[in-house]
Amino acid sequence: MVKIDLNADLGEGGSADAALMTLVSSVNIACGFHAGDAQTMLESVRHAIKNGVAIGAHPSFPDRENFGRTAMDLPPETVYAQVLYQTGALEAMVRAGKGVLRHVKPHGMLYNQAAKDPVLAAAIARAVRDCNPQLILVGLAGSELIRAGERLGLTTRQEVFADRGYMPDGSLVPRTQAGALITDEAKALAQTLEMVRYGRVTAVDGTTAHVQADSGMFTRRWRACAPVRASACGPRSLKRAFLSAQINHKRTELCLKARRSAARRIASRRR
């Protein structure tokens, strides 16, 4: 059985970050352009190092007003500079804490636009390579961002979403459209297992799209639930689903470690 990375976006002002550190194998830390600041970045890095999870940068378009979800048409060199700036800042904080920055995952609209725009994707991949060619580039499974990273010789990790709706081409349903979010836990788990076990996802129109699941992510809705009982919400259930799924592909490097003792301590405090 190959284990899959379960990641979460943190340092964005949520109250559940500390609890989530015990449930995931990697974190993507906001770098100030859509959320967070120097202090939250440093605190998030310290928590991640303490919990032994892989640390990644989560760069964004400069859009704090709309949480990085505003579409932008910026020159490639501007995007290159912004991604390099954000990634380099976080890498310096990780290095100061005697840790290692492992990956980069763009945020929000930067992530979504780079999934389809090869020029934007190339600018991001180039910034990651020039910052540190050992960094892993995380992007939507089957996207232009993955292809751009591969062309530059970067290690890539293809990401799937447990509780986001998919379009027939394998892209995510825009948040402005019906079906963007899966709010039923059973459906989210079923989608997770379908992607991890069989390398496919059922799109909103009923067709299937191929996906490669190297890493899985749950959205802010589930992340807000982390402090409540494990039976009442999603992150722990999603983690079990990823751990139990039997798959047959070789491309995975970030490894999900089941911290059972930590989970038991958290569960006992909540009883």
pLDDT in tens, 14-54: 888 888 888 899 999 999 999 999 999 999 999 999 999 99
pLDDT tens-digit readout, 146-196: 999 999 999 999 999 989 999 999 999 998 899 999 989 889 989 988 998
Return d(Cα 240, Cα 235) in angstroms, integer: 9
**Strands 54-58 and 26-30, sheet pairing:** parallel
Residue 173: phi, psi to the nearest 5? Answer: -65, 125
- Cα torsion 146, 150, 153, 156 to 10°: value is 40
Which letter does DSSP use for residue 215 in this model?
A: E
Residue 144 neighbours by CB distance under 10 Å: 21
Q: Contact at 8 Å (CB) between 103 and 254? A: yes
What are the tokens at 29? 């830390």
pLDDT tens-digit readout, 77-118: 999 999 999 999 999 999 999 999 999 999 999 999 999 999
Q: Contact at 8 Å (CB) between 180 and 199? A: no
CA angle centred on 60, ends 192 and 100, rounded to 5°? 75
What are the tokens at 75? 């020159």
Question: How much is the pLDDT for 268?
Answer: 52
Instruction: Evaluate if pTM is beyond 0.85.
Output: no
Residues, the chain, total? 271
Residue 201 neighbours by CB distance under 10 Å: 23
Q: To which residue do tokens 């999900």 refer?
A: 256
SS3 153: coil
Return d(Cα 60, Cα 36) in angstroms, integer: 11
**pLDDT band at residue 219, thresholds of 50, 70 and 90?**
low
Mean pLDDT across the chain: 84
